[in-house]
Every structure is written in C-alpha cells, then in structure tokens.
C-alpha cells in the first residue's frame, strides 16, 4: 500500500510539474517575443520623454493591448507591480520532488545499471545531487567571469560543459537516469537564475525607486542575460522531460552524443523563433535544427547487436518461461520487485494473452534497445534474448 501512495504521489507531482512548466515556459516565450518585437517610440513623443524604450500594439481575445518597456525604469513606481517567479519556483520544486519520488527513492532500480558502473543507491543519488549543484556553481562563475561579456562564446562553453556532463553521467548511471539528471541540472541552473540573479536584481531596482534613487542599469542587464539563457535552455529540457519514452536515444552506446545533437537542435530552433521575432532572416537555424534531428533519428535507428545461435526448438512455452523469470516480477497485476507498485506503462505479462499482445514491445525493449529488464536486474542472458528474437522472426506464434 505504501508503494501505491508513492506511485500516486508521483502522478500528482508529474501533473503539477507539467502545469507549472507550461506557465514558466509560456511566460519566457512571451517576454522574449515581446522584447524582440518592440518598436522605439517616435522621436519627441510623450512616450520617449517618459523613458519608454519600446512599445507595440497587439490584439488578442477581443481586446487591444499596448505593452511598453522602459529603458531602465519609469519615473514613478506603479502601485501594482506584477512579478514572475512562482512559475519557476514551482516548476523546480515539483520537478525535484518528482526526481526524488521516481528516481532517488528507487535508485537501485531506476539509476544504477551494473553493466555501466557498480554503484550503491546512495552513491547514485550523490552523483545526481552533485551534478545539480555543481552545474549551477560552474555556470554562475562563468557568467560572472570576463567570459560572461561574450554571449556567443559563453553559450558555446556552457553547451560543451553540459555535453561533458551528459558523457560523465552516462558513464556512471543507467541511460534513462543519466538523461534525467542532465535535465534537472539544467533546470536547476534555470531556477537558480531566477532565484539568485533575476529576482534579487529586480528587488534592488524597486527598492532604489522607493528610496528615491535611480535604479542600477546593471541589474537589468544581468537579469536580461540570464532570462535569455533560460529561454534557450527550454527546448532541450522539455525533450529530456519526455525522454523516458525514447529508449532508442538513452540506451544508445553514445547517448551523450545523441542528447547533444537533440539539445543543439532545440537551441537552433529556439534561435530561429527569436530572430524571426526581430524580423531577421533565420531559416538556416531552422534547417540546421531539422538536420540535427534527422541525424539523431538516423543515428538511433535500431541496429540489433549480434546474438548467439539458438539451440533447441523455439516455442511459446519457452518464451513464456523467459518472460516469467525476467519480466513478470515488475510486469504483473501485483509486482513483487521492490519499489514497483504497478506494472510499468500498464504492461502485464503474467498471462499468455498479455505476452502475445505485447510481443512487439517485448522484442523492442528486450532485443532491440536492450533497455529491459531495467539495469538487467533480473539477469537476462544473451541466449534468452536470442530466443525472443527467433520467436519474433517466426511471427510470434502463441502455440
């Protein structure tokens, strides 16, 4: 029963995480679009005299809107001022809680892969936590260094370091956990940008105005830089959020490279939209992103590793025996594997009908990607994988 409530808590956390993420991403996309779409007010106009740097007119939901952005701040602080922070905090808090419930509490199953590295559950969790904290510290120091004045070079260095992080995680953790830990490391950078840089800078600007002082423009510049960084991080993080549905990617021998290619594609696609908002020619960015995605698709195409020859007849009963030994501990109405309360993905294999209905899925996960059993916790052999492959080649007969 306790395992059930942990599973249910994971479901609710996942839902909250998606809702908060939509709100945060939506505001990020909107404000970057807004910044890139503003036109300067006419010379000598009232708006220019007030310090307005740009404005635009828009129509939405049956009404007209006229957002304006000040070069630094308005002459007087408005009575009501909206802040955008809880979307970021809720996304990070719910995502981290989900990480703990789904991965860290079941680290021996969800994170440790003995074929990758012989780790204890505590060591795997420590590696994940160190990746989250270390990523923020290194990134923040880079932004504060002289390198932070060159956004293009800074972006290239950060991308290279995150690729190195993906490589390192892939040498220590199971593929799925490695991807997720890279994702939460980037998410930690994004949330920390809001918590440690953007919001404190905005608070200092507001406090200066309340005290009758001119706000420091540097706070605005730093906040804008980190906000733009978050905008470019968004699409790679969203891919990682759904990557548990892509075993061909995270189980690839060079999964770090696959993730780097898809992440770079996300950055290029985001750059396409950001440049288009400014009216700039940006189609090569979109073409480059599409090319990288096609490359990743070709790279992760199924290439079945050689299997030993099968001895003896390949019968359904033989396949059912293998599935019963290696898969049913998790994939049954009442799983007996520690930490698993419900059959993953609702796949139940404790009956002949269940095996027949999921024959293609069994073949894909056990033979093609070899991602199952997860971490090979039930010690399936290559000979047994070969039997399942031969059974599929014969048409997966149920008799």
- State pLDDT tens for residues 318-372: 999 999 999 999 998 888 887 677 788 788 898 989 999 999 999 988 998 888 8
Name the β-bridge partners of 63.
60
pLDDT (tens digit per residue) in 220-244: 999 999 999 999 999 999 999 999 8
Please tell me what DSSP assigns to residue 369: S
Give the orientation angle of helix 217-241 with respect to helix 175-192, to 10 degrees.
160
Residue where the block lists tokens 């706000």? 215
The Cα 124–Cα 113 span in angstroms is 10
Q: What's residue 89's pLDDT?
A: 97
Tell me the H-state helices in 148-198.
Answer: 151-170, 175-192
What is the chain's length? Answer: 399
Task: Check residue 24 and give its pLDDT.
Answer: 96
Q: Rounded to two decimals, what is the model's pTM?
A: 0.87
Please give the pLDDT value at position 64: 96
Looking at residue 270, what is its pLDDT? 97
pLDDT at 103: 93
Given a cut of 70, the residues of the chain with pLDDT beneath it are 1-3, 339, 399
DSSP state at residue 147: G
What tokens appear for 158 in the block? 């950060």
């Amino acid at each position: 029963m306790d395992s059930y409530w942990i599973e249910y808590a994971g479901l609710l956390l996942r839902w909250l995480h998606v809702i908060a993420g939509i709100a945060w991403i939506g505001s990020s996309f909107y404000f970057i679009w807004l910044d890139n779409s503003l036109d300067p007010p006419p010379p000598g106009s009232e708006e220019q005299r007030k310090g307005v740097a740009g404005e635009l007119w828009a129509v939405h939901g049956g009404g007209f809107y006229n957002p304006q952005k000040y070069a630094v701040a308005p002459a007087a602080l408005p009575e009501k001022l909206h802040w955008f922070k809880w979307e970021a905090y809720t996304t990070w808090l719910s995502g981290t809680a989900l990480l703990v419930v789904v991965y860290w509490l079941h680290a021996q199953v969800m994170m440790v892969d003995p074929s990758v590295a012989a780790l204890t559950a505590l060591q795997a969790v420590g590696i994940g936590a160190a990746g989250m904290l270390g990523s923020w510290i290194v990134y923040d120091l880079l932004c504060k260094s002289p390198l932070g004045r060159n956004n293009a070079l800074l972006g290239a260095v950060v991308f290279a370091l995150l690729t190195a992080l993906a490589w390192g995680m892939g040498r220590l953790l199971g593929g799925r956990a490695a991807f997720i830990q890279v994702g939460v490391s980037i998410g930690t950078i994004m949330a920390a940008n809001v918590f440690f840089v953007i919001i404190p800078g905005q608070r200092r600007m507001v406090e200066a105005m309340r005290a009758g002082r001119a706000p420091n423009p540097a706070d605005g510049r730093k906040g804008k830089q980190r906000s733009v960084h978050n905008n470019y991080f968004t699409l790679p993080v969203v891919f990682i959020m759904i990557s548990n549905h892509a075993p061909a990617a995270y189980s690839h021998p060079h999964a770090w490279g696959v993730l780097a290619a898809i992440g770079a594609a996300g950055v290029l696609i985001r750059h396409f939209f950001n440049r288009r908002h400014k009216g700039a020619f940006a189609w090569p960015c979109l073409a480059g992103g599409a090319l990288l995605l096609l490359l990743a698709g070709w790279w992760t195409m199924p290439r079945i590793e050689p299997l030993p020859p099968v001895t003896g007849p390949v019968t359904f009963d033989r396949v059912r025996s293998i599935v019963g030994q290696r898969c049913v501990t998790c994939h049954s109405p009442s799983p007996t594997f520690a930490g698993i309360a419900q059959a993953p993905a609702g796949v139940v294999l404790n009956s002949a009908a269940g095996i027949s209905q999921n024959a293609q899925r069994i073949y894909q996960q056990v033979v093609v990607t070899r991602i199952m059993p997860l971490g090979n916790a039930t010690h399936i052999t290559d000979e047994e994988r070969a039997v399942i492959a031969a059974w599929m080649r014969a048409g997966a007969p149920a008799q």
